[in-house]
Amino acid sequence: MSVRPILIRGGRVVDPSQGLDRPMDVLLADGTIARLGDDLDAPEGAEVMDAGGKLVTPGLIDVHVHLREPGGEHKETIASGARAAAAGGFTTICAMPNTEPAIDTAAAVGFVMAEGQRAGSTRVLPVGCLSKGRAGQELAEVGEMVDAGAVAITDDGSPVMDSGLMRLALEYSLNFGIPVADHPEDVGLSRDGAMNEGLVSTRLGLRGKPNASEDIHIVRDLLLAEFTGGHIHLQHVSTAYGVEAIRQAKARGVQVTAEATPHHLILTDEAVEGYRTEAKMNPPLRTAEDRDAVREGLRDGTLDTLATDHAPHHYDEKEAAFDDAPNGIVGLETSLGLVLTHVVGEGLIDLSIMVERMSLAPAQAFHLSGGTLAQDSVADVTIIDPDLEWTVDPKTFLSRSSNTPFAGWTLKGRATTTIVDGRVVWSL
Amino acid sequence: MPIQDPIVVMDEEAILRALARMARELVEKNAGHEGLTLMGIQRRGIQLAQRLKEEIENASSRTIPAGILDITLYRDDLMAIGPKPVIGETVLPPGGIDGRSVVIVDDVLFTGRTARAALNELMSWGRPSRIYLCVLVDRGGRELPIQPDVVGREVQVVENQQVEVMVPELDGRWSVEIVTLPLEAA
Amino acid sequence: MSHEGSPLGKDLVGIEPLSADQIRMILDTAEPFKEISKREIKKVPVLRGKTIVNLFFEASTRTRVSFEFAEKRLSADTVNISSSGSSVVKGETLVDTAKNLEAMAIDMVVMRHGASGSAKFLADRIPSNVVNAGDGRHEHPTQALLDMLTIRDNLKTLEGLKVCIVGDILHSRVARSNIYGLLKVGAEVAVCGPQTLLPFDIGSLGVHVFRRVEEAIEWADVLNVLRLQLERMKGGFIPSLREYNRFFGITNQRLEAAGKDILILHPGPMNRGVEIDSDVADGDQQVILDQVTNGVAIRMAVLYLLAGGRPESAEAAKAGGAA
């Protein structure tokens, strides 16, 4: 089905891959960026969009998203997650494999690919399991999964406790040119913890997960990446020590990329006050010192990708005592607004760096197409209204779940149009 | 290091004359050409065998099969020496050696050990009906009870002397020479 | 007349200690021994009266049989001792074994043992000649020599040739010996396999590393395809045999895609359909049966070059060994 060309006129093009941050017109045709320039003519039959006052960026990419299909469709499906992503301005999301059954074979990867395509919305790229069944024992059939479309491997939501297995995964990934993503956590230390171990947990009488439980695995992963030459992608970094360790490893030339989530950039463990399960996730919200270190890491590029760790859970599950509630919050539909308001808006980074962290760097880390508006690249574009004020109302989410601590927050800045492969998949 | 110039006991003319005579002797000993097969021993026996083959063929317009014998693996001193000798190729004559009158051809007969090794090797290949030993030079000094059937020339030497046969393909000339070495080097 | 290049010494414990000249000497010496295997009576008296013990701590039919043929064709008396060693403490056994062999005045020992370095261990402790038939993951010198001979037979040279070893390099003594040998004689060497089965910093031995077998095939004149032990899957180094064949298997399709002649070697025994497909194993470019034939010749050459030859008798022999 051929799509009409689209001319996006008069927007502020922010494309760090080309060093661009100025008003320009963008012409999309045949699924690719046909031209960027000033005062472009609309070809015949083209749809013309007026982007005056808006930002025009390469499509946003979220490399850490939990879609609950197969096995948890009441929380989210591939289709509902893709649509939620589109509403959040994302043109590509990478789906984590901790479904039931887990995505550990070429067939399962193929299923996710097919369902994503069927949804016809944001591009869904599968991440395969690192170990068979996510059991943490034997390597999964990485080659077959990559051949079927997987872009990385991970055992997320679980860590890889066996360092020998992580070593093998980093080595084996070299044959297939993919990163190994890790959820760094030493469960021996974090066992039974429900939140950050700190003053707040002491007051609330909740068991905590100490920073060390994350730091130990971050350092282990960095050492193994250095030793094997493989590419480690550290997920949802939340500790000050962790950020510094990554900074030093990068300086040594270790192949590492790392994520920061919007919630770890904004909230601290104080958000748990009142036993609010919508502030319960893994890794937990930590102290102000950790949050500030994560912010600094995002600023200087130590944490080069911004990812949501979108983790939908049904209302019923989160309506439980704090210890019993599952970990995770949704994030696809709030990420951009939160970042524009509380990261860019507070002067930590400028728009160019924001686009780098949310589009270019994720594309580079996972070897994806996109992340750029260069001519002939894929026509994945996000149009953003930076001045639009809106209030977060989970009832209006396209996601099937609404577990978020940001309900009621007023944010400034929102995606208004999301274009994938030159087709509008969502519009405000 | 030789202490004097080599003494030439046979020059080219003498050698070729001798070979012509030896060729006729072989045919005579064999009572004809039937089954005659020449086996030259590496390395200089090969040239001599080749020359004998030509002589016999020219005189009779028959084809005489010829082969090459390398006796290295049958030497009785193999385990005593240090670096092992290079093993040359052994090539059986067309038609093999079974039932044939095989002539072992070598340059110099001395202790008889090379001839003994050649006999053992031939017998491991098959069963010739007869074996003759044909040498250009017999210098005496046997250590085994082995005697030649056809000889080019008998040469008397003493302990510190060696008899060397030169052939065109390896040395550029036909020549039989006595080389005298200092006593301690012998 | 003797070989240039020093003699081999008392033992053959590996390729690493050898010079390029010594390697060539062994290959050249094997040529006439090939011919003996074609005779009606496949025997020469070279090692008559010598006793050789085949000491195999690891099960191996093909290597042991190959050595046995070599020994018997040289007229040696052979004794086979095999021990699976499961109930025995390895180090202790080796020392006792050495002492027993010395007491029995065995002339030569051919040993295969599961511990890297065990061949040298034995060689240092007994006066017999010791030939390493495989020590742990360290070396398998006669295999590398027969591989080089086979390559040389088919491609006329070794210098400047591009040889890629494909498979489980990490656990392979065949790979190590081949790498040392080929580099010494001037070939270019590469390895290719799952990274989990490549040893640390293998590139520093002087070899290229290919991550995809297609790249290796495009580069190479010769592929030496290693057997994938099924235990590797249990050890977690690869997720499945199917995946190994899919991404690292030598298939006709991959060879045809390269569109050039490549010599295929395999030390055997083959796992058909895993590291090598049947149509390649039985096809035109493989020389696997030549390797077996050359194996006997190489082992005869090695035993011939090592046997006897005590330097002090060399002078005496020179005088008495004349015609």
Cross-chain residue pair C211–A142, CB shorter than 8 Å: no
Query: Sorting pLDDT into bands at 50, 70 and 90, what band is B81?
Result: low
The Cα-based distances of A217 to A160, A183, A383 in angstroms read: 9, 9, 38
Other beta carbons within 10 Å of A39: 8
Q: What is the pLDDT of residue B185?
A: 54
Quick: pLDDT tens for C186-202. Answer: 999 999 999 999 998 89
* Chain position carrying tokens 């009779």: B60
pLDDT of residue B82: 66
CB pairs under 8 A between A and C: 49
Residues 6+ apart with CB under 8 A from A402: A315, A330, A394, A395
Quick one: pLDDT band at residue C314, thresholds 50, 70, 90?
very low
**In 3D, which of B77, C43, C117, C120 has the Cα closest to residue C109?**
C120
Sign of CA dihedral A289, A293, A299, A304: negative
Q: What is the mean pLDDT of residues C264-274?
A: 94
Write down which chains contact chain B via at least 3 CB pairs under 8 A: C
Q: Phi then psi for C108, rounded to 5 degrees?
A: -140, 145
Q: Which of A251-260, A317-326, C29-38, C256-265 shows the lowest per-residue confidence on average (mean pLDDT)?
A: C29-38
d(CA B72, CA B88): 8
- C contacts of A176 (beta carbons < 8 Å): 247
Contact A61, A306 (CB under 8 A): no
Least confident span in B58-67, C34-43, C64-73: C34-43
Amino acid at B67: G
Q: What is the pLDDT of residue C2?
A: 46
Residues 105-134, chain B: which have Cβ within 8 Å of C? 106, 108-111, 113-115, 120-121, 124-126
The predicted model gives A202-207 an average pLDDT of: 93
As given in the structure block, the two tokens for residue A208 are 């905590």
Nearest to B137 by CA among B151, B121, B124, B123: B151
Are the Cβ atoms of C313 and B81 closer than 8 angstroms? Answer: yes
User: What integer is the mean pLDDT of A36-53?
Assistant: 94
Residues C122-147: what's their mean pLDDT? 95
Neighbours of chain C (3+ CB pairs under 8 A): A, B
Average pLDDT of span A293-298: 98
Q: What is the pLDDT of residues A342-399, one digit of tens each?
A: 999 999 999 999 999 999 999 999 999 999 999 999 999 999 999 999 999 999 999 9
- The pLDDT value recorded for residue C91 is 54
Residue C90's pLDDT is: 55
* Residues sharing a CB contact under 8 Å with residue A90, sequence separation 6 or more, in sequence order: A59, A60, A61, A62, A122, A332, A382, A418
The two structure tokens encoding residue C250? 């030598």
pLDDT per position as a tens digit, A102-131: 999 999 999 999 999 999 999 999 999 999
Sequence letter at residue C48: R
Q: How many CB atoms lie within 10 A of CB C122?
A: 24
Q: Is the pLDDT of residue C75 over 80?
A: yes
- Amino acid in the structure at residue A399: S
The more confident residue out of C322 and C224 is: C224
Amino acid making up residue A25: D
Long-range Cβ contacts of A347-352 (<8 Å, 24+ apart): A348/A295, A348/A298, A348/A299, A349/A298, A349/A299, A351/A14, A351/A21, A351/A55, A351/A386, A352/A14, A352/A16, A352/A21
- Please give the radius of gyration of chain C, using alpha carbons only, rounded to the nearest integer: 20
C-alpha to C-alpha distance for C135 and A350, rounded to whole angstroms: 62
Residue B184: per-residue pLDDT:
67
CA dihedral A55, A60, A65, A68 (to 10 degrees): 80
Query: Is the pLDDT score of C163 beyond 90?
Result: yes
Which comes out higher in pLDDT, residue C27 or B84? C27
pLDDT at A267 over 80: yes
pLDDT surpasses 70 at B102: yes
So what's the pLDDT on residue B78?
82
Three-state DSSP class for B99?
coil
**Which of chain B's residues have a Cβ under 8 Å away from the Cβ of C319?**
186
**Is residue B148 very low, low, confident or very high in pLDDT (cuts 50, 70, 90)?**
very high
Active-site annotation of A, residues: 309
- In chain A, what residues touch C243 (CB-CB under 8 Å)? 141-144
pLDDT at position B125 is 86
Mean pLDDT across the stretch B96-113?
Answer: 95
Q: C6 pLDDT band (50/70/90 cuts)?
A: low
CB A1 within 8 A of CB A21: no
Q: Is the peptide bond before A283 cis (omega within 30 degrees of 0)?
A: yes
- Confidence grade of residue B124 (pLDDT, cut at 50, 70, 90): confident
Residue A58 has pLDDT above 90, yes or no: yes
- Please give the average per-residue pLDDT across C92-104, as a whole number: 80
- In which band, very low, low, confident or very high, does the pLDDT at C315 lie, cut at 50, 70 and 90? very low
State residue C83's pLDDT score. 75
- B126 contacts on C by Cβ (under 8 Å): 40
- Asked if C195 has any chain A CB less than 8 Å from its own CB, the reply is yes
Q: What is the pLDDT of residue C123?
A: 93
Q: Does B144 touch chain C (CB under 8 A)?
A: no
Cα R_g (chain B), whole angstroms: 16
CB contact under 8 A, C318 and B81: yes
**Cα nearest neighbour of C235 on chain A:** A138
Cα distances from C243 to residues A142, A145, C239, C247, C255, in angstroms, run: 8, 10, 7, 6, 18
In this prediction the ipTM stands at 0.82
Q: Is the pLDDT of residue A156 over 80?
A: yes
3-state secondary structure of C315: helix
Is a pLDDT exceeding 90 seen at residue A273? yes
Looking at residue A244, what is its pLDDT?
98
Binding-face residues of C in 14-43 toward A, CB within 8 A: none
Average pLDDT of span A271-289: 96
Question: Residue C140: pLDDT above 80?
Answer: yes
Distance from C-alpha of A97 to C-alpha of C252, rounded to nearest angstrom: 35
Helix A211-228 and helix A240-251, axial crossing angle in degrees, nearest 10: 10
Mutate to test the interface with A, among C238, C245, C248 (most CBs of A within 10 A): C238
Contact map slice: C 220-249 vs A, CB within 8 A:
236-240, 242-243, 246-247
Distance, in Å, from the CA atom of B121 to the CA atom of A190, rounded to the nearest integer, reads: 81
Check whether C242 has a pLDDT greater than 80.
yes
- Counting Cα atoms < 13 Å in the Cβ hemisphere of A30 gives 6
- Residue A161 or C3, more confident: A161
Reported as a pLDDT band with limits 50, 70 and 90, residue C317 is very low
Amino acid in position C63: T
Whole-angstrom distance, CA of residue A408 vs CA of residue A393: 6
The whole-chain average pLDDT of chain C stands at 88
Average pLDDT over residues C178-185: 97
Average pLDDT of chain A, as a whole number: 97
Q: Quick one: which of B117, B127, B112 has its CA closest to B87?
A: B117
The answer to whether the Cβ–Cβ distance between A137 and C237 falls below 8 Å is no
Contact A140 C239 (CB under 8 A): yes
Cα(C207)–Cα(C215) distance, integer angstroms? 14
b/e string for B3-13 if b means 16 or more Cβ within 10 A?
A: eeebeebbeee
